[in-house]
Amino acid sequence: MLRVIAGDKRRLQLKSLEGKDTRPTLDRIKETVFNMIQSDINGSVFVDLFSGTGQIGIEALSRGAKYAYLVELNKKACDVIKYNLIHTKLDDKANVMQSDVLTAIRRLSDQGVVADFIYIDPPYKGEFDEKVLDCLDSSSLMGEDTLVIVEASLDTDFSFVENSNLTVEKIKEYKTNKHLFIKRTV
């Protein structure tokens, strides 16, 4: 069961996508991540890449984010995201983009959007991490203070970050996966 775990939409259940096309973030892991960023979430612009059901972007909005962009390529998943946004009455604070992530990053940059938080939860072992971080590294979507949070399997190698303008500031490991907190090197 998916649900909003905190904020003004706390306890509202969210619809999930049938099948194995998405891998929703577990509540305890979601809670850990949001507890780490809670002091900065209020009034922020939040971008949720590989959005799946939209639960991460919706959680950010429930906790006080000003606006969220939820990017998902799968049409059925986009329909679920739209349903969840309407159900939580947060649809006026969000933009659902049915698009591949790299195109969405370019479109948001072209529109002058600068994110405070960018959450990336690509399919594990899909080798999207490097492509997406490389695109963000050269994008104006990522500002000087933007925090990028990447959810990945424990064995995902991020050594490529050393050859970029990005810095891994923190890694939080769980049983089967991890979160990396990344900023642009100033």
pLDDT greater at residue 29 or residue 60: 60
How far apart are the C-alpha atoms of 127 and 160, rounded to whole Å?
A: 12
For residues 128-140, average pLDDT: 92
Average pLDDT, the chain: 90
The answer to whether the predicted template modeling score (pTM) of the entire model surpasses 0.85 is yes
pLDDT greater at residue 26 or residue 146: 146
Does residue 11 register a pLDDT over 80? Answer: no
CATH number, position 178? 3.40.50.150
Beta bridge partners of 179: 151, 172
Q: What is the predicted pLDDT for the residue at 128?
A: 85
Q: What is the predicted pLDDT for the residue at 107?
A: 97
Does residue 21 register a pLDDT over 60? Answer: no
Q: What is the predicted pLDDT for the residue at 118?
A: 98
**Structural domain harbouring 133:** 2-17+26-35+43-184
The structural domain count of the chain equals: 1
Q: What band does 126 get if pLDDT is binned at 50, 70 and 90?
A: low
**Phi-psi region for residue 160, left (φ > 0), alpha (ψ -120 to 50) or beta?**
alpha
Residues 6+ apart with CB under 8 A from 154: 173, 174, 176, 177, 178
pLDDT tens digits for range 88-102: 999 999 999 999 999
